[in-house]
């Protein structure tokens, strides 16, 4: 019997890319990297555009040059598809589903976890998965269940900062870290103010799509995140820029 298949989950963030770089550096077995791209709608990626450009123009070609095959997965479902669907149960039945909930994101469930789970089912039993969790993320490391999931960052004692430096040295640090400390969709309800401000300043077309969604009537919730509507955030930024007077 040959050795089991070894795959690396990859978001093209610093930790998952560093794990792949470590695998290559130390001659660890690695058959492929698996990436799941969340989509806003059929045509627009859910990745922050700078990160998406990095993935397709820099990172995938670099991995392929290193001999790492990259598998790209996408769900049939999209953010807009979920947003515009109808609630089927409970007191909001019939309303437009609208914004995903912080901490219980339907996009994560349907656009990310499902395609990855489906892909996993096609892999032979005993497949080993490399997970990009750093040696200083003890809580997450403790949740790795068993021998088929391995953190190479833990094995080679790489902290998050070490992972960042390794990617930087290899010319494989996503530009997303210039304005965010996390990856994630540009429409994420957990996005910090700085990330939203980046979207507002640099991607007005995407911003406009969110305002269009906010304007749809009959939504189950008006709130984009725990406290604000997207229109609230838009108004705040326009106030900051002096485009409209500050509310009293």
The residues binding ligand SF4 (CB under 6 A) are 38, 100, 105, 107-108, 112, 184-185, 188, 190
Q: Which CB atom, from 115 or from 184, has the smaller least distance to ligand SF4?
A: 184
Q: Which CB atom, from 190 or from 221, has the smaller least distance to ligand SF4?
A: 190
Q: What secondary structure does DSSP assign to 90-147, as a single string?
A: STTTTSB--SPBTTB-HHIIIIIIHHHHHHHHTSPTT-EEE----TT-HHHHHT--ST
Q: Which CB atom, from 36 or from 173, has the smaller least distance to ligand SF4?
A: 36
| Closest approach of ligand SF4 to the CB of residue 120, in Å | 18
Q: How far is CA 93 from the centre of its chain?
A: 29
| Closest approach of ligand SF4 to the CB of residue 103, in Å | 8
What does the block give as tokens for 78?
């999209």
| Closest approach of ligand SF4 to the CB of residue 186, in Å | 9
> What is the rounded distance in angstroms from the CA atom of residue 40 to the CA atom of residue 56?
17
Q: Which CB atom, from 100 or from 115, has the smaller least distance to ligand SF4?
A: 100
Largest CA distance in the chain: 73
Q: Which CB atom, from 45 or from 151, has the smaller least distance to ligand SF4?
A: 45
Which DSSP symbol is given to 229?
-
> What is the rounded distance in angstroms from the CA atom of residue 238 to the CA atom of residue 125?
54
| Closest approach of ligand SF4 to the CB of residue 112, in Å | 5
Q: Which CB atom, from 39 or from 134, has the smaller least distance to ligand SF4?
A: 39
Q: Which residues on adjacent β-strands are paired with residue 216?
A: none
Q: Which CB atom, from 79 or from 237, has the smaller least distance to ligand SF4?
A: 79
| Closest approach of ligand SF4 to the CB of residue 187, in Å | 6
| Closest approach of ligand SF4 to the CB of residue 83, in Å | 11
Q: How far is CA 174 from the centre of its chain?
A: 13
For the chain, the straight-line distance linking the first and the last C-alpha, in angstroms and rounded, comes to 73
Instruction: Give the gyration radius of the chain's Cα atoms.
Output: 20
Q: Phi, psi (5° rounding) for residue 128?
A: -95, 135
> What is the rounded distance in angstroms from the CA atom of residue 31 to the CA atom of residue 68?
7
| Closest approach of ligand SF4 to the CB of residue 233, in Å | 15
């Amino acid at each position: 019997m040959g050795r089991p298949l070894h795959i690396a989950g990859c978001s093209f963030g610093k930790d998952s890319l560093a794990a792949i770089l470590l695998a290559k550096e130390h001659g660890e077995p690695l058959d492929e990297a698996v990436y799941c791209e969340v989509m806003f709608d059929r045509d627009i990626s859910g990745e922050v555009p700078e990160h998406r450009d990095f993935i397709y123009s820099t990172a995938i070609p670099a991995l392929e040059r290193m001999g790492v095959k990259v598998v790209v997965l996408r769900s049939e479902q999209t953010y807009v598809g979920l947003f515009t669907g109808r609630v089927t149960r409970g007191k909001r039945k019939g309303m437009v589903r609208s914004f995903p909930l912080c901490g219980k994101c339907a996009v994560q469930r349907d656009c990310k976890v499902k395609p990855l789970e489906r892909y996993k089912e096609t892999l032979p039993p005993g497949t080993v998965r490399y997970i990009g969790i750093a040696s200083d993320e003890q809580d997450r490391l403790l949740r790795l269940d068993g021998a088929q999931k391995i953190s190479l960052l833990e094995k080679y004692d790489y902290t998050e900062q070490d992972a960042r430096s390794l990617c930087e040295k290899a010319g494989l640090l996503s530009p997303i870290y210039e304005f965010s400390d996390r990856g994630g969709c540009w429409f994420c309800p957990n996005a910090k103010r700085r990330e939203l401000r980046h979207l507002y300043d640099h991607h007005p077309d995407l911003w406009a799509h969110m305002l269009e969604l906010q304007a749809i009537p009959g939504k189950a919730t008006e709130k984009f995140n725990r406290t604000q509507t997207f229109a609230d955030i838009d108004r705040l930024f326009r106030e900051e820029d002096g485009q409209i007077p500050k509310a009293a």
